[in-house]
Amino acid sequence: MGGPPLIVVLADRQYLFPVGSVVRIGRNPELDVVSTSPLVSRACHAVISVDAGGATYVDQSRRGTFLRGRPLRGPLRITESVELRLGDPVTGEVLGVTPPLGSHQLERNRRRRLALRRGRMAGLALGAMGVAAAVLAALLLPSGATPKAAAHPSAGATATTAPLALAEAATVRLRLGPADASTGWGSGTVVDPHGLILTNAHVAQPQAPGQAVALGTPGYQLPANPPFLTVEMTTGQSTPAVARYRARPVAVDGYLDLAVVQIYADAAGKPVDPSTLRLPALTIGDSGALQLGQPVTVLGFPGVAESDSISVTSGVLSTFVPDPLHHAADPRFELETTARLAHGNSGGAAIDAGGRLIGVPSMEVTGEGADVSYRLRAAQLARPLLAAARAGRTYGSVLLVHSGVGEKVTGVGVGGSGEQACAISAPATLAALPAQLWVGLRYAGLPKGLDVAVGVRPPGAAAFGGAGGALPEETVPGPDGCLAVAVDPASFGLASLPPGTYQAQLFAGPDLDPVGGTAQFRVGG
């Protein structure tokens, strides 16, 4: 067949289908995948179309198909293994689907990241009311009091009462803007008694250079930077977080997704002298000394908890993950943990048994079926940021190559494969849509090692997109060359690509800025 097949599992029976197949599922014995469940449609319940980049599932039943308890409202693009329920969200028959995953697709899935975005106000009525009560409360921590940590226990033990109490006091909630009108929140950790707080860049400064590369999103599509962060603190395990200070970024690395922010005012905006602060603070540990299976405790303010009090989860370190884009050399770039993370945990604390800050909760990565990998950014990567912040120096990341001058796109091509697309011809047209549409952009004058991405916009689409919702990225080996990408209709919410005039754009540099003008080509018609 050439390449892996589509794998479908139903009622403990496995089916294999090659790329190009159209698979019909239902109770009719003449269909490709046959069920005996009365909840499955007697005729065709659903159709799966298989292509080289994945599969597209289309429900055709009256009872519906459900993913994680929710009904599908349109075509489902499948680029990693999923489990669906046919006919009912709880009792429906389980259908397992694994798309034809080649090595390129596996790498793309490994790099696909779902940053633990700040909890949003919409849909969190209970949380919003809790915050209103929290703002009216008073912080009971005595001025200048700093809890003392006990001697560090062994790495095989869980955090004892004193280190955990210190970590709880040092973990803060960071609201984006004023406490009563914020656009979301994340978490943070006080790492200096004089008001320095470590958090994620996507919490403190979403448009920081390097964030675009880390997320595979053009810089102009990133959320706006908040005017300031409201720092909310707790006084105990069951007390709500109370607005105490305002902070602003002083050292940010968008690619590392780390930021150090400095308290500069109280919650009402009255200036505060940081040198007078005596806040409970954590010290940063050494990720090089960590061992797999070692206990880890995660603290933060996840929105799913519907609580304004701090949340604590525990687990172990399960593996070390190198930088998937190969810019950072540290093989412990990310720490995978079994401790549960959720939206709003971003930027919080992950501590070892001695209460040392070893990781910053940053993201979750989806895998096969319902698999989720919870990732911590190694806290020691923040040491240069913290050093710059303490010294009052400007921090600048050295991980990414910056754009130069004279960069340009010299041609656009289109075809049924990457090779055809990079055989640039003028004008770039195709009489009919191929089974897989590829677009190629030839470039010149790019610095070696520059991060680049290609975005394609079909007729009627609102924005440039790429497979899996993120632009496919790579670093250029030299100043001249050609980049080719496959166009995935599911990235735009489409079941299939329409004929018409398409647009293609090259993005480059730490902010994935547009290079040159938008290229156009026509397909079909």
pLDDT above 90 (res 287): no
pLDDT mean over 25-48: 92
Query: Mean pLDDT of all residues in the chain?
Result: 84
**Mean pLDDT score, 106-118:** 44
Q: What is the mean pLDDT of residues 361-390?
A: 87
The listed range with the strongest mean pLDDT (80-84, 171-175, 515-519) is 171-175
**Confidence band, pLDDT 50/70/90 cuts, at residue 372:** confident
Angle at the Cα of 305 (from 301 to 310), degrees rounded to 5? 35
Q: Residue 161: pLDDT above 70?
A: no
- Residue 3 burial by Cβ neighbours in a 10 Å radius (0-12, 13-18, 19+): exposed
pLDDT band of residue 467 (cuts 50, 70, 90) is low
Question: Please, which pLDDT band fits residue 432 given cuts at 50, 70 and 90?
Answer: confident
**How much is the pLDDT for 158?**
54
- The percentage of residues in the chain with a pLDDT greater than 90, rounded to a whole number, is 54
Closest CA to 322 of 278, 287, 354: 287
Q: Which of 138-147, 296-305, 348-357 has the lowest mean pLDDT?
A: 138-147
Q: Is the pLDDT of residue 155 over 50?
A: no
**By mean pLDDT, which of 87-101, 163-177, 337-351, 440-454 is the weakest?**
87-101
pLDDT at 29 > cutoff 70: yes
User: Which tokens belong to 45?
Assistant: 């319940």
Q: For residue 115, name the pLDDT band (cuts at 50, 70, 90).
A: very low
Spatial contact of 436 and 53, defined as CB atoms under 8 Å apart:
yes
Instruction: Output the pLDDT for position 199.
Output: 98
Which CA distances in Å does 40 have to 25, 49, 75, 92, 472? 9, 19, 18, 8, 37
Amino acid 136 reads: L
